[in-house]
Amino acid sequence: MHDLPHTTLLTPRRRGFQDYLAGLGDLCPYPTNTVQAIDWRDGWVIAERVMRELDEENVPIPFRWIK
């Protein structure tokens, strides 16, 4: 699984926001293999990708804000 190292780089603030977007970390409330379950999982995947892209730790060094 090539995405695992990127997932572990999320800051606690970003991870918390991702959990909020995914329903506060709840398990999927819909029966397996239903349209609702697929939509719910797709939402989780999209939230995870957005949080990974926005995470400050994943920004290349030349593009980080100078403090």
Query: Domain containing 39: what range?
Result: 4-55
- Counting the structural domains of the chain, the total is 1
Q: Which tens digits make up the pLDDT trace of 5-32? A: 555 555 665 666 666 665 545 677 778 8
Helices (H), the chain: 4-7, 12-21, 35-54
Residue 64 lies in a domain: no
Highest mean pLDDT among 5-9, 38-42, 61-65: 38-42
Torsion sign, CA atoms 47, 7, 15, 58: negative
Residue 24 lies in a domain: yes
- pTM equals 0.42
